């Protein structure tokens, strides 16, 4: 065996006389090998970087959060970009506070996290008539799951409390209390109480408003001193504001009551004269800090929006926002904002929230604390800002296409290298 090994070693070491060394060819072959290694390493680095960027940009936020991560348990900002996701998840028990809502043409009303993630609210077929109500801190969400089930959802603690005995007024519910459709609702500033338009069921029932505590306890508020009153929101932790017709023809006043609907003050509002009976549940909205009131005056198609000081009734701004029913008002820097092209535009004309055209968004509504916080831009926002071109919404798909192309190029280089190596092997000719 040792003799055979020695002969084989001699055969390998021996250089045939017909082999002539070509230093130039050897140098060129080595250079080609070095270039292939460098190109392969570069392609690998680019692919890894793109995959890492795509992965970080596409990762959703966790489904549950530690309440300690949120200052006071509330929302800390708003998304600058809301993209059409590959998949929309159902609302988990504890997603953390929401920044607001969007109403998409095909997908209905969706919750939006501060990072721009969309979540489906479990509302059945009630969302158009009974839209969900989000507190200003984004932590508390109220919604009607079906005609007999009204839920108070703490999005940080993860608890869902069903309000006993509360249903809708569609005629399909026999619960002892009912809440009215196509009416707004208002969370108190601390998120502990919810004001709804509703009453006890049955003949002779008094009161047109319900106050629901966070634990589900329900009480009926007594009738207002002015029967024409419609709520516009909380002015403070224990003060409610109501729009009522004044004593003079066409005058409108802000009625201030305590949380049991007992009159505390009346403020005459400096607004254009209104036709008698023109006030309704969509005529006004109070800012999150309770200091400003948006009042819609004028008939259909000729509305004018004015912002008034809730303490003095003096006018602070006049313009046009839109129907409060079509899209509840969002407030930014003390003034209401416009909804234009599916995004939010401040009073200076600056667009600061944009939505993917594929969502066909008709309404964007943000919680007060969300717009008082910091913008959450994410990777897409850092690169594209509020631009709305095709690439700004499809950069993930484009990136995956680039990655696929680079991988295909790398595969072709590997195949070519093997072919070249095979053709250069002794005896391959």
Contacts of 117 (CB under 8 A, 6+ apart): 60, 61, 85, 89
Half-sphere exposure of 378 (CA within 13 A, CB side): 25
Q: Which residues of the chain have pLDDT under 70?
A: 1-27, 29, 36, 38-72, 124-128, 203-206, 227-228, 273-277, 298-303, 322-326, 417-429
Query: How much is the pTM?
Result: 0.79
Q: Which two tokens stand for residue 76?
A: 């800390």
> How far is 49 from 403, CA to CA, in rounded Å?
10
Q: For the segment 225-241, what is each residue's pLDDT rounded down to a tens digit?
A: 776 688 999 999 999 99
DSSP β-ladder status, 374-376 and 100-104: unpaired
Q: What is the pLDDT of residue 122?
A: 83
User: DSSP assignment, residue 428?
Assistant: -
Of 293, 290, 283, nearest to 318 by C-alpha is 293
Q: For the segment 355-364, what is each residue's pLDDT rounded down to a tens digit?
A: 999 999 989 9
């Amino acid at each position: 065996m040792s003799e055979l090994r020695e002969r084989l070693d001699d055969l390998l070491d021996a250089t045939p006389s017909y082999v002539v060394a070509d230093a130039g060819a050897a140098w060129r072959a080595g250079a080609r090998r070095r270039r292939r290694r460098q190109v392969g390493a570069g392609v690998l680095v680019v692919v890894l970087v793109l995959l890492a960027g795509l992965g970080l940009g596409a990762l959703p936020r966790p489904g549950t959060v530690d309440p300690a991560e949120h200052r006071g348990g509330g929302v800390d900002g708003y998304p600058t970009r809301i993209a059409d996701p590959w998949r929309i998840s159902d609302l988990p028990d504890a997603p953390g506070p929401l920044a607001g809502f969007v109403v998409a043409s095909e997908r209905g009303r969706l919750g939006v996290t501060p990072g721009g993630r969309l979540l489906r609210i479990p509302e059945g077929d009630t969302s158009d008539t009974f839209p969900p109500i989000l507190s200003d801190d984004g932590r508390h969400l109220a919604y009607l799951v079906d005609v007999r089930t009204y839920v108070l959802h703490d999005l940080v603690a993860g608890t869902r409390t069903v309000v006993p005995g509360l249903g809708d007024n569609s005629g399909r519910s026999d619960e002892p209390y009912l809440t009215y459709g196509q009416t707004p609702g208002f969370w108190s500033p601390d998120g502990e109480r919810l004001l709804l338009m509703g009453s006890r069921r049955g003949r002779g029932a008094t009161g047109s408003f319900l106050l629901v505590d966070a634990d589900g306890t329900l009480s009926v508020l007594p009738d207002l001193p002015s029967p024409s009153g419609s709520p516009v929101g909380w002015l403070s932790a224990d003060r409610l504001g109501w729009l009522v017709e004044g004593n003079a023809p066409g005058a409108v006043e802000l009625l201030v009551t305590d949380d049991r609907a007992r009159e505390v003050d009346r403020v005459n509002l400096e607004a254009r004269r209104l036709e008698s009976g023109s006030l309704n549940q969509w005529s006004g909205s109070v800012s999150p800090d309770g200091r400003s009131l948006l009042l819609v005056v004028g008939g259909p198609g000729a509305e004018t929006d004015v912002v008034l000081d809730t303490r003095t009734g003096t006018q602070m701004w006049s313009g046009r926002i839109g129907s409060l029913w079509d899209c509840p008002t969002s407030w930014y820097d003390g003034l209401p904002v416009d909804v234009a092209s599916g995004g939010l535009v401040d009073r200076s004309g600056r667009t600061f929230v944009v939505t993917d055209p594929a969502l066909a968004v008709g309404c964007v509504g943000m919680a007060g604390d969300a717009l008082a916080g910091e913008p959450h831009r994410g990777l897409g926002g850092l690169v594209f800002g509020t631009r709305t071109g095709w690439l700004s919404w499809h950069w993930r798909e484009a990136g995956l296409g680039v990655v696929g192309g680079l991988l295909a190029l790398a595969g072709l280089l590997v195949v070519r290298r093997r072919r070249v190596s095979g053709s250069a092997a002794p005896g391959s000719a």
